[in-house]
Amino acid sequence: MSAQPTAGIVDASARASLWLQPHRIVLIVVALALFAAAAMFMRWDWIPQYYDLALQGIWRTLWILVVTVILGFLLAVPLGLAQAAGPAWLAIPAQAFCTVIRGTPLLLQLWLLYYGLGSLFPQFPWIRQSELWPYLRQAWPYAVLSLTISYAAYEGEVMRGAFAGVPRGQLEAARAYGMSRWKVFRRIWLPQAFYRAMPTLAGETVLQLKATPLVATITVVDIYAVASRVRQDTFIVYEPLLLLALIYLIITGIIVFAFKKLEARIPVRIA
């Protein structure tokens, strides 16, 4: 066993030396060597040319992720509640929705919406004349819709379990003190269910990020579509893909970090 500091206070340099243990130093050297090799022996001269497009792609990937996660979660709450506590006429459709969406590939849903609905809409003059038409003729509304539906279905299932897991006695106590149904939900039930679901939501959000490249198949130019375009334009195969992997890794890191921060603010380990 290596020497442990016995003093209560460990200053910054001591902490750094603890962190920099031999195996870590070796790993860092290996990583730097790989990085240097990639920089020297691979082609990166195409980057400046695609710089702006890549930034736009990253931005599009990010907002699609954020918007669909938020909208999807807002849908997941009623879906979960209906299944956990709703009457049969709400619970059964909610369960059916979750089962169908979770049981079919996202790519299929995306194409059904885009090529199905998207080619149906122009046949109705009143839709073509509506104010929504400028949006409906673009691809991104269909991307947002299908990713939202998908997230809602998975999270609806998560929220069902989270709602059901809140101890009944605590809800009963809330009722016993004269809270209305809505207040019981808003003050007691939802916050506890949300805290319970949080660790799962973090993982599901990372999965959602990695579902976003599918939107490239319906002409939405996200960061994946940009990488594909670089390959087609320049016939450089691996470099764009490696850079793409790095970008997704970084975004994943940000998501994990953000959820960790959020979870740390929940001060209880709810029993």
Chain contacts with other proteins (rule: CB under 8 A): 167, 169-170, 172-180, 183, 187-188, 191-192, 195, 266-271
Q: Specify the residue, 15 or 181, whose C-beta has the smaller distance to other proteins.
A: 181
Q: Specify the residue, 111 or 194, whose C-beta has the smaller distance to other proteins.
A: 194
Q: CB 183 → other proteins: shortest distance, Å?
A: 6
Give the three-state DSSP class for 235.
Answer: coil
Residue type, 73: F
What's the rounded Cα separation, in Å, for the pair 166 and 271?
9
Q: CB 8 → other proteins: shortest distance, Å?
A: 24
Residue type, 89: W
Kindly report the number of other CB atoms within 10 A of residue 85's CB atom: 15
Q: CB 93 → other proteins: shortest distance, Å?
A: 21
Q: CB 186 → other proteins: shortest distance, Å?
A: 9
Q: Specify the residue, 1 or 268, whose C-beta has the smaller distance to other proteins.
A: 268
For the chain, the 3-state helix, strand and coil shares in percent, each to the nearest 5, are 80, 0, 20
Q: Specify the residue, 133 or 194, whose C-beta has the smaller distance to other proteins.
A: 194
Kindly report the number of other CB atoms within 10 A of residue 13's CB atom: 8
What's the rounded Cα separation, in Å, for the pair 99 and 237?
38
Q: CB 219 → other proteins: shortest distance, Å?
A: 45
- Using N-to-C axis directions, what is the helix angle for 190-211 and 140-165, rounded to 10°? 140
The 8-class DSSP code of residue 202 comes to: H
What's the rounded Cα separation, in Å, for the pair 208 and 98?
16
Kindly report the number of other CB atoms within 10 A of residue 77's CB atom: 20
Q: Tokens standing for 171? A: 């809800």
What's the rounded Cα separation, in Å, for the pair 52 and 115?
29
Q: Are 95 and 153 in contact (CB under 8 A)?
A: no
Q: Specify the residue, 116 or 165, whose C-beta has the smaller distance to other proteins.
A: 165
Q: Tokens standing for 192? A: 């506890």
Q: CB 271 → other proteins: shortest distance, Å?
A: 5
Q: Specify the residue, 261 or 269, whose C-beta has the smaller distance to other proteins.
A: 269
Q: Specify the residue, 152 or 174, whose C-beta has the smaller distance to other proteins.
A: 174
Q: CB 207 → other proteins: shortest distance, Å?
A: 26
